[in-house]
Structure 1
């Protein structure tokens, strides 16, 4: 897959395009993307996804509260695995939002992306003030010689429902539901940083994960069974998302205790997949009681890992 940003957005071969945020690249999105790739192969075209970053709401509404299922880098990684030819990440700005529908279609879809076939939702809106709709796009198709294939209301509704259910599930700590709609384990990507060393003192050393992107959705506080990869080896562990109330913590942190590894991870970037939720975070009356609970958490984690690997 070739990645194109705003300064390198040009495709010199005829293409089939779909357009959207594709946050999460969940099972509803995957259905549309597979259709895109199949159409491209059947017609001898390049398969292209046009997406935007930052999210339009971040720019137009200054909405700092919006949380996304993927960072832009994570989204790229997932799409690459699907066999896409080109991913266009267009920088979304106010100037871009003010493009007329005609200029958007001609300058970007036709001149830059060489569109010959566009797969798009029945309710797609584009151009300044989102004034143009799919019927306008079909008219432009006649003018600029590309086909428009409509994604049904049912498929669009399934995409919207899936996204909503995934976010709600993660906010509630329901990893099983989120993962079922995603079609893969929800994951966090971050850099391992130095913590206070409290875990090590009680026999459960943890790797603190720093996530740079503040728009990434962090699931509900609690303890989770997780999986990661290091040196081409799968490693499991248990992760706490929370404030460490037993030791009077106040700031949210993400800490992973990996099983069966003594590798120095500081400074490394890791991807941690959430497999199962064990319990809520809670405040214990003493560190000794916390230690006792962590031993039980580890036992329950290992039982779960054993079951999924049978």
Structure 2
């Protein structure tokens, strides 16, 4: 697996998953495995585009579940070919939605997977519908555990803060 700075990855074809992927929890693992499988069937590279720190940590001071090295190891273990690790800071926040779309275009994505509430660019000016004007986009609905509750980094953080590691670890799927 190779790690890249934003705007440095040029590919003739790819399948891309974009997200914070903090914790690389069971929900993330499901999405990434499917993306990797899809890349194999299309015979193109798999790419995870992610952020350090995760946006929720940057804006709200949320606890980070996996540091960048842990996240990269987990992504490598899932069979990802390339990771774009964007430094999420004031400079990155100034990028326009078009800047992000142009960067993605350099990877020639055959498909892009994002959460159905994905936003990007300066002041969150871009959304899934804008992305769909340029690429084949697979917005994914939240992934739920056996009891029907959404698996999310926020929920895992809350369980950890409540001292319920026994409930959080199965959602992480790697503890």
Counterpart secondary structure, 1:120: strand
2:13 corresponds to 1:23: no
CA distance in 2, matches of 1:6, 1:16: 16
CA distance in 2, matches of 1:22, 1:169: 17
Structure 1 residue ranges, 4+ long, deviating more than 6 angstroms after superposition? 156-159
TM-score (norm 2): 0.87
Q: How does 1:207-286 map to 2 (within 5 A)?
A: none
Q: How does 1:117-136 map to 2 (within 5 A)?
A: 117-136=111-130
CA distance in 2, matches of 1:45, 1:170: 38
CA contact (8 A) 2:27 2:151 kept: no
Aligned-residue Cα RMSD (Å) equals 2.3
Please identify the structure whose Cα radius of gyration is greater: 1
CA contact (8 A) 2:117 2:127 kept: yes
Q: Deviations over 1:48-76 (max 9, x none)?
A: 000011333555x4x5x421111111111
Label 1:87 to 1:156 Cα distance change in 2 as closer, same or farther (>3 A).
farther
TM-score (norm 1): 0.51
Aligned residues: 173
Following TM superposition, by how much is the alpha carbon of 1:96 offset from its aligned partner in structure 2, in angstroms? 2.1
Label 1:181 to 1:92 Cα distance change in 2 as closer, same or farther (>3 A).
same
What residue in structure 2 maps to residue 32 of structure 1?
31
CA distance in 1, matches of 2:4, 2:85: 6
CA distance in 1, matches of 2:132, 2:18: 15
Is the deviation greater in 73-82 or in 118-127?
118-127
More strand by share: 1
CA distance in 2, matches of 1:53, 1:19: 13
Label 1:162 to 1:137 Cα distance change in 2 as closer, same or farther (>3 A).
closer
Higher RCO (CA 8 Å, separation ≥ 6 residues): 2
CA contact (8 A) 2:151 2:171 kept: no
CA contact (8 A) 1:29 1:159 kept: no
CA distance in 2, matches of 1:155, 1:109: 25
Q: Which runs of 5+ in 1 are unaligned?
A: 142-146, 186-310
2:164 corresponds to 1:170: no
What residue in structure 1 maps to residue 68 of structure 2?
72
Counterpart secondary structure, 1:140: coil
